[in-house]
Structure 1
Amino acid sequence: MHCDIYRSSKKDEMYLYVPRDPSQEKHEDALSLIPEAMRQAFGRATFVMQLELHEQRKLARVNVLHVLDSLQTRGYFIQMPPEGLINPNAVAPEGLRGA
């Protein structure tokens, strides 16, 4: 299955996977099928890349079988940012305070 991957403008490391017809030229058409509430939460979608997904493909942070299932049943897959990378209570480094 071919898919397009988009980066969220609202949350770092959040990505949206949408199925793609390889003969289709416009990326925006696939985004119109995403529910409005999901598009609002995701923010502006910036195209990152195209991938061909199959059961043997390895993805860095998600199980490809979960992605394929979601693409087939929902028509999209949201990859959430990894947890634990950023401590929201951490003190900002000296040079970045007030920036």
Structure 2
Amino acid sequence: MLCAVYKTRKKAGMYLYVPGKEAFDEVPEVLMSQFGKPQLVMLVALDKHDTLAGIEKDVVKNSLIEKGFYLQMPPKEEDLLSVHRKAQGLSPYVDEKR
């Protein structure tokens, strides 16, 4: 199965997988409006890969078959200040009562 991967300028790390080049027919209109103008990143033969960007190929493939698209969201960003405060033995959140 051939898969087209698109990125958006609106959110770094967000990618839209569709079952072919410019095959956006099954993608909900609200998602397309929030995604913005898709920019083609690559065409991928799913059968030649076990994972795509850390995602199991079967997850992508099943979503393409069932929904007609797969949306990859960016990983959640870690709050580095909270991590540092915990390492110092402090509460992870800054006390705003000063």
Q: Is the structural similarity TM-score above 0.5?
A: yes
Q: Rate the CA distance shift 1:37–1:19 in 2: closer, same or farther, 3 A.
A: same
Match of 1:82 among 62, 75, 81: 75
Q: Which residue of 1 aligns with 2:47?
A: 54
Do 1:55 and 1:65's aligned partners in 2 also have CA atoms closer than 8 Å?
Answer: no
Distance 2:49 2:19 in 1: 18
Do 1:9 and 1:43's aligned partners in 2 also have CA atoms closer than 8 Å?
Answer: yes
Larger RCO (CA within 8 A; separation ≥ 6): 1
Q: Which residue of 2 aligns with 1:13?
A: 13
Q: Which ranges of structure 1 fall in alignment gaps of 5 or more residues?
A: 21-26, 90-99
Q: Rate the CA distance shift 1:56–1:44 in 2: closer, same or farther, 3 A.
A: closer
Distance 1:2 1:56 in 2: 11
Structure with the higher fraction of residues in helix conformation: 2
| RMSD (CA atoms) | 2.4
Amino-acid identity (%): 38
Count of equivalent residues:
82
3-state SS of 1:49 partner: strand
Do 2:8 and 2:35's aligned partners in 1 also have CA atoms closer than 8 Å?
Answer: yes
TM-score, normalised via structure 1 length: 0.71
3-state SS of 2:71 partner: strand
Deviation string, structure 1 residues 8-67 (Cα, Å, up to 9, x no partner): 1211010000002xxxxxx33x12432110101111100000001028522223121110
Q: Which ranges of structure 2 fall in alignment gaps of 5 or more residues?
A: 82-98
Query: Following TM superposition, by how much is the alpha carbon of 1:2 offset from its aligned partner in structure 2, in angstroms?
Result: 0.4
Larger radius of gyration: 2
Q: Which residue of 1 aligns with 2:24?
A: 31
